Amino acid sequence: MAIPGPYPSYAPWSMAPIAPLGKPRALALIRAGKLPFTFGSPHPTVAVVEQDGVFRVRELVVDAAEAATAANAAREARGIWTPEQHYALGKPAGRVFLEAPTRDELAEKLEAYPWPRDW
């Protein structure tokens, strides 16, 4: 949905805290090849991606300098900076929780992985 006014094409305020994705849905997305995708609750902190020729479940990392620059720009433009905007800057560059050469093998590993509460 586009918001009238001088706003970017995305609406970061519409990215309210999200409900947990859940293991069954994550597995379905992996098996269907609907990558990349992010998840975590209340905010996205994990991504499933294909990187360097392998499939990974990987931590999203927000660069502090990038976040500070974006926050200052948002506050100047609109007077607001939300946690949702901060987490939207996350990139799959942190800890690798799981890795596999194929999507099917990643799904098998994820099925056996103890599902963290904040995922």
DSSP 10-45: S-GGG--------HHHHHHHHHTT--SEEE-SSS--
Q: Which residues of the chain fall below pLDDT 50?
A: 1-14
Confirm whether 3 is domain-assigned. no
pLDDT for res 9 = 41
Contact 26, 55 (CB under 8 A): no
Confirm whether 2 is domain-assigned. no
Residue numbers of the domain that contains 88:
18-112
Q: Is 50 helix (H, G, I), strand (E, B) or coil?
A: strand
Confirm whether 62 is domain-assigned. yes
pLDDT for res 16 = 63
pLDDT for res 46 = 97
DSSP for residue 119: -
User: What amino acid is encoded at 119 in this protein?
Assistant: W
Confirm whether 38 is domain-assigned. yes
pLDDT for res 20 = 84
Confirm whether 117 is domain-assigned. no
- Structural domain tally of the chain? 1
Confirm whether 70 is domain-assigned. yes
